[in-house]
Every structure is written in structure tokens, then in C-alpha cells.
Amino acid sequence: MDKQLILEQIRLLLESENDLIANLSNLSAVLNDYLKEINWVGFYLIKDHELVLGPFQGKVACTRIPLTKGVCGAAVLTKEIQLVDDVHTFEGHIACDSQSNSELVVPIIVNEEVFGVLDIDSPIFSRFNQDDALLMQQVCQLISKHIKENIDR
């Protein structure tokens, strides 16, 4: 996986489009193409005090997640990356796909508030590492910057 290529492709996609849903749809496709050994990648956005399913690649997913539940909820409440080697040991894990065994969730923070999360699942235990977390954090920072620029216009 060429990290700089992923970031450059995401930058170019964001520069060419202002629509959030169009961008998140393409970004989930880019990540799905580049990341190996994953079975789901996508976004949940905060609406009415819960996480609501956004654009994704993978099997049918949970449509709504309470902010107090699951790995995604933990990322929102702590405003921190959640890297879970074994989701079956994570208290309150929500099993949208029983084949998922590890998960990486990165909050998308805009104006110091969580706007949504990038969620990536894998059927492989301990699939994700700190390098993956850092790369996805950079992806989310690009998304945050783009959202902020478009809100401020």
C-alpha cells in the first residue's frame, strides 16, 4: 500500500468536489481498493445525537449507532482513535457483520467537535496497526479540513 498515493488521490478527489456524500462515497471506494484484508470501510455521521450510516463499501451495515455503544461510539465519546485487535473482547461491541474480528475507527473532528467517524473492519484478528491508524488519521484530517473550508464559505 502506497500511503502517499492514497493521500494524494484523496486530496485530488476532495479538491474537485464540494458535496460531502459524493466525496465520502469516493473515499470509501479508494480505501476499499487500497486496503487489504478488510471486509468493510465507510463512514458514520452524527445526526440528532447518534451515528447514522453514511457512504461505505461492504456488506449491509447497522444503520444507526447510539453514541454510547460500540467501537464507533467510543471514538466519538473519547475523540480518539479506537484500534481494536479483537472486537469480541470489546465491551459493547456491535456486531453488524459476524465475520469482523478487528476494527479501526477514527473520529472526524471539525471545529473541535466530532462530525462523524471512519470505520474499517477486518475478518483478520489484529489486522490494524499504528501505521494504519496514523494514515487513517491523516485521511480524516483531510476530510475535516475540506468540510471546514466548505462550511466557512
Q: What is the mean pLDDT for each group of 10 consecutive residues in the chain (153 residues)?
A: 91 95 97 96 97 97 94 97 96 82 97 97 98 98 95 59
Residue 42 lies in domain: 3-151
Tell me the whole-structure pTM to 2 decimals.
0.95
The whole-number pLDDT of residue 153 equals 45
Q: Structural domain tally of the chain?
A: 1
Report the DSSP beta bridge partners of residue 83: 104
In 3D, which of 83, 147, 73 has the Cα closest to residue 117? 73
The whole-number pLDDT of residue 7 equals 96
CATH of the domain at 133: 3.30.450.40
The whole-number pLDDT of residue 151 equals 73
CA distance 107 to 110: 10
CA distance 115 to 102: 23
